Structure 1
Amino acid sequence: MSALTTKNLALHLKVERFPYLQPFQISGHVFTETAVLVAKLSDGEHVGCGEGAGVYFLGDDIGHMIAQASSVREAIEAGASREQLQALLPPGGARNALDCAFWDLEAKQKGRRVWELAGLDQPKALRSTLTLGASSAEKMAKAALAIDPQAPVKVKLTGDLAEDIARIVAIRTVRPDAWIGVDANQGYNAGTLAQLLPVLVQAGVAQLEQPLPRGREADLDGIKRPLPFVADESAVSLKDTASLVGRFDAVNIKLDKCGGLTEGLAIAREARKLGLDVMVGNMMGTSLSMAPSYLVGQLCDIVDLDGPTFLLRDRSPGVEYREGMIHCPDEIWG
C-alpha cells in the first residue's frame, strides 16, 4: 500500500457556528453556541475533512485556532505529513482539525477506513452518556426524566455545595436505577470536596470528573477516593498522562484537548499501560467531531459523545442516538 500523498495539497479553512437549543451551564461558564474550525485538505481528487471546537479553559477559541492553522498552511501545502504535524503545532483545536483531515484524506486515497489504518477493530455502537447542564434541582430532575431512559446520565455541577447536593439527590430520586456520573469542572477545593464525597457515595454516583482546578492536582494527594476520579482539565495531552497515576483513576480524552486522533489513540493506549481507565469526551462539536472520537471510544470504558444533542442543528448525515447508544454512520467521516 502506497504512503499518503502529501505533495501539492491545498488547505481550506472555514469557520462555522452552531447555536445551542438552550444555554448550557457548567461550573464557571455558560455556553450558547459552538464555533468550529473546519479544515479541508485536497489533493485535487480527494478531500479530507476535520473539525476543531477548541478548548475554552485554555483560551483556545476560534480566533486562536484560525491563527494556529494558518501558521502551518505553507508547511502543509509544501508536503508536511500528519506525523510532522504533531511537532508543527501544539495540542489544541487547530491541530485536531488538521490531524483528522489528514486521517480522512489518507483513508480516501487508499480506499480504506480510518479504523483500519489505525489498527482498530471494526467500530460498533457505543453506550454514551447524555449530559444535564447545571440548573435548579427541580429543572434537572425534570430533564433527567425527559432524556433516553436507557442512556447513562452525566450531571454538571457548579461548585456550590448545597445546590450540587440538591441536584444529585433530586436526580437520583427520579432516576433510581440510572448510571449517574458527575462533573465538577474544577469547581471544588479539598475542603468542599471532602463534604461532597459522602453524598456521592450515598447517591450511588459512579464517577467524579475533575473535582479540583487544573494545577491543583497535588491537593488530591492523600485524599481517599471512594469512587473513581476522572481527570479532564488536568489531562490535556499525552505528556500529562503519567502524572495522573495515584491521583485519578481514569483519563477523559478529548481530541480538541490533545490535538487530534493521532494523540488521542496514543493516550488511550498509554493510559491502559499505566493501569488507568479510559473515557472519551467532547467539546460540544458537531457529528464531524464525534466521528473520530467514536474511534477512540472503541478503546474506552466510558463514552461521553453527546455534543450534537445540544445543537439547534447538526450536520447531515449525523450520528444517531437511540436506546442509550451512539451510532456513527460511515458517511460522516473516515
Structure 2
Amino acid sequence: MDSEIDPAVLRFVAAQLRRSNLTGIQAVRHVEERVGRTPLTVACDIAIFDLLGKQLDQPARVLFGECVSVPRTAVTIGVTKQEDLIELVAQYREWPILKLKLRRGQSVTGLEVVRRIYDGEIWVDVNGGWDLETTKASMPILRGIGVAILEQPLPQNRSHELHELRGGPVQIMVDEDVTGPQSIARLAGVVDVVNVKLAACGGLSGASETILAAQQVGLKAMIGCRSESVASVTAAATLCHLADFADLDGHLDVADDPFEGISIDRGHIRLTDRSGIGAAPIHR
C-alpha cells in the first residue's frame, strides 16, 4: 500500500473527526475499506475516542465498561548476549513478569540461568523464528523452567499447526496472526492467548472488538503494543481492564518522548484520570 494518502481522503477523515461520535468511527472504517489500514486510520479511530471522553469529561476507558482491575504488565528484554541477559534480568528482578525475546535459531537452554536468579513469571517471544519440530523439542525445557507463555513460535499464518501443543502448562500465544476480530475464528481451539495491538487491529474500536471476539470463543487476550510513544501506549491501556494480560512497556526506552500518560511501577500500571485517552503533550 502506497504510504501517500489522497488529500481528499485526509479532508474526509478530518470532517469525521470534527463530528467525534460513533458515526465518525464507522466513517473511519469506510476510509479503511478505501485505502487500507494505515497509521492514519488507526490514529483517527483513537482520536475519536479521545474526543468522546473529553466531551464527557471522563477517561475514555469508561466507554468500554467499568474498570475494576487491570493486569500487571511484563517488561521485555530484547535479543541479547548471555552475559548481558544476566545483568538485565538482575536489573528487572522486582518486576512480576519478564518477557524474553529470542532470535531465530537461538536455543532455549540458555534461559535456564534466568530461572536461577529470577522468581517471577517468564514469557518467551520467538517472533516466528521456529518451526513446529523445534517448538516441540523446546517445550520440555520451557516447562522445566516454568515459562508461562510462549509467543508466536511459528511464522504468521502457520498457527494452525500449534493445536497439538495446547493443554500443557505453557500457554501458546500468537501476535502477528491477530489483525482484528475477523482473525479470531481460525485461532479458536488452536492457541490459548491472542496478543491484541491497536496498530494491528484498527485502533480502540477494532481492538476492543477483537478482545471480545477472543473471549467469546474461549481465548484469553493480551493488550499489547509496539515500541512507541507513551501516547500510543496510554491509548492501549484504555482497554487493559478488558484483557487477561498486558504487555505495555513499549514506551520505556523512548528518548525525549513528547507526551506523558500512564506510568509503570515494577509492572503495576498507573492509569491517569485525565479525560479522553489520558495522554497529554509535555510543554518544555
Shorter-normalised TM-score: what interval?
0.7 to 0.9
Residues 128-167 of structure 1: per-residue CA shift (max 9 Å, x gap): 10000111122112101102513311110113243x321x
Number of the residue aligned with 1:99: 45
TM-score, normalised on structure 1?
0.74
- Answer yes or no: is 1:318 the counterpart of 2:264: no
Shift in CA distance, 294/271, structure 1 to aligned 2, threshold 3 Å = same
1:184 aligned residue:
126
| Equivalent AA in structure 1 for residue 241 of structure 2 | Q
1:158-237 mapped onto 2 (5 Å cutoff) = 158-162=103-107, 164-166=108-110, 168-175=111-118, 177-226=119-168, 227-237=170-180
Pairing 1:29-40 to 2, within 5 Å after superposition: none
- In structure 1, the residue matched to 2:12 is 75
CA 1:77–1:308 in structure 2 vs 1: closer, same or farther (change >3 Å)?
closer
Judge conservation of contact 2:121–2:147 (CA < 8 Å) in 1.
Answer: yes
- In structure 2, do the counterparts of structure 1 residues 223 and 128 end up closer, same or farther at CA, with 3 Å as the change threshold? closer
Give the distance between the partners of 1:110 and 1:263, measured in 2 at CA. 22
Name the structure 2 match of 1:246.
189
Cα displacement string for residues 236-274 of structure 1 (whole angstroms, at most 9, x for unaligned residues):
111101111122111110000011000111111111110
| Deviation of the 1:307 alpha carbon | 0.8
- Relative to structure 1, the CA distance from residue 224 to residue 103 in structure 2 (aligned partners, 3 Å threshold; closer, same or farther) is closer
- The alpha-carbon distance between structure 1 residues 261 and 73, as it changes in their structure 2 partners (threshold 3 A), is same
Matching of residues 319-334 of structure 1 within 5 Å: 319-331=262-274, 333-334=276-277
CA distance in 2, matches of 1:140, 1:287: 25
Change (3 A) 1:224 1:326: closer
Q: Where is the strand percentage greater, Structure 1 or Structure 2? A: 1
Q: CA RMSD in A?
A: 2.2
Question: 1:178: Cα distance to partner?
Answer: 1.0
Alpha-carbon distance change, 126 to 92 in structure 1, aligned in 2, over 3 angstroms: farther
Partner Cα distance (1:101, 1:70) in 2: 19
Using a 3 Å threshold, how does the CA distance of structure 1 residues 124 and 189 change in structure 2: closer, same or farther? Answer: same
Unaligned runs of 5+ in 1: 1-59
Q: Alignment partner of 2:184: what SS?
A: helix
Letter of the 2:205 counterpart: T
CA contact (8 A) 2:220 2:244 kept: yes
Q: Tell me, yes or no, if the aligned pair for 1:96 and 1:255 is still in contact at 8 Å.
A: yes
Query: Which residue in 1 is equivalent to 2:61?
Result: 115
CA contact 1:291–1:332 (8 Å) conserved in 2: no
Separation in 2, partners of 1:68, 1:253: 26
TM-score by length of 2: 0.86
Moved more, 93-102 or 219-228: 219-228
Distance in 1 of aligned mates of 2:209 and 2:203? 10
- Cα offset, 1:208, TM superposition: 0.5
Match of 1:87 among 30, 38, 41: 30
What SS is found at the alignment partner of 1:155?
strand
Structure 2 CA distance, aligned partners of 1:300 and 1:125?
8
Aligned residues of 2:79 and 2:103 also touching (Cα < 8 A): yes
Q: Name the SS for the 2:123 alignment partner.
A: strand
Amino acid at match of 1:86: R
256-265 or 147-156: bigger deviation: 147-156
Aligned partners of 1:70 and 1:331: how far apart in 2? 33
Would you say the 8 A contact 2:98–2:123 is kept in 1? yes
Q: Does 1:133 align with 2:75?
A: no
Q: Which residue of 2 aligns with 1:14?
A: none
C-alpha displacement of 1:316: 4.1
Following TM superposition, by how much is the alpha carbon of 1:70 offset from its aligned partner in structure 2, in angstroms? 5.3
Distance 1:69 1:246 in 2: 41
Between the aligned residues of both structures, percent identity stands at 25
Alpha-carbon deviation of 1:223? 4.0
